[in-house]
Amino acid sequence: VQLLTHKNLLVSLPAAYLLVARGITSVLPGKTIGTALQWSLALGFAAVCLFNLLFTADYYSTPNKEQLRAAAAFINENETPETLLVRCDIDDRLDYYLNDRVPGVRGDADACTAEDFPALMNRVEEGGYRQVFYFMSHKQPTPELVSRLKTEFDLVGYKPFYRTWVAVYRVNGEAVDAPRNTSRDPERG
């Protein structure tokens, strides 16, 4: 679980602002130089916060949740009972946007490293899956895993999103229609 994320820190910002304000007002109280220092610190802090909000922080300007919804819609549109969804993400938030809307009940596989690949292959063979959707969000799969996926499966399509992507692989030897709205990009990984 990631604690230092924007959505978790957003709740604690009012308390942090109060602590900073208290620190600024306690700097050299009552003196002329103290008042000038207090005003310069307050204005400097406000300028830094505004600069961070507008120019460096991308929490409010990038479509994270919308892109996750779009990835889920792509999966819902193209998934069949013979499709295994393999994920490399930080939690089960994609489940809410998928058809079942209940986190943690899907039979998806998790794979982010090459060590996860043998278990993934077992799931594919035991389940008789004809295609694999590989979903990545906020975590990067290791290059070794991506290489193994490309070696063992045929890349049928690739759908990029912001900080998220879905790669569609065909299990070797199986004839599967390419999903709609994808591009082939074998260099992405």
DSSP string, 29-71: TTSHHHHHHHHHHHHHHHHHHHHIIIII--TTTS-HHHHHHHH
Please state the pTM of the whole predicted model.
0.64
Is the per-residue pLDDT at 58 higher than 80? no
Taking the domains of the chain in order of start, what are their residue ranges? Answer: 6-56, 64-171
pLDDT of amino acid 188? 47
**Residue 84 and residue 124 in contact, taking contact as beta carbons nearer than 8 Å:** yes
Read off the pLDDT of residues 129-150 as tens digits, 9 standing for 90 and up: 999 999 998 888 999 999 999 9
Read off the pLDDT of residues 81-124 as tens digits, 9 standing for 90 and up: 899 999 998 777 777 787 665 555 677 888 999 999 999 999 99
pLDDT of amino acid 81? 87
Read off the pLDDT of residues 152-167 as tens digits, 9 standing for 90 and up: 999 999 999 888 899 9
Considering the chain, what is the average pLDDT of its residues?
80
> Is residue 36 left, alpha or beta, with left meaning phi > 0 and alpha meaning psi from -120 to 50?
alpha
Is the per-residue pLDDT at 59 higher than 80? no
The residue among 153 and 6 whose pLDDT is bigger is: 153
Is the per-residue pLDDT at 10 higher than 50? yes
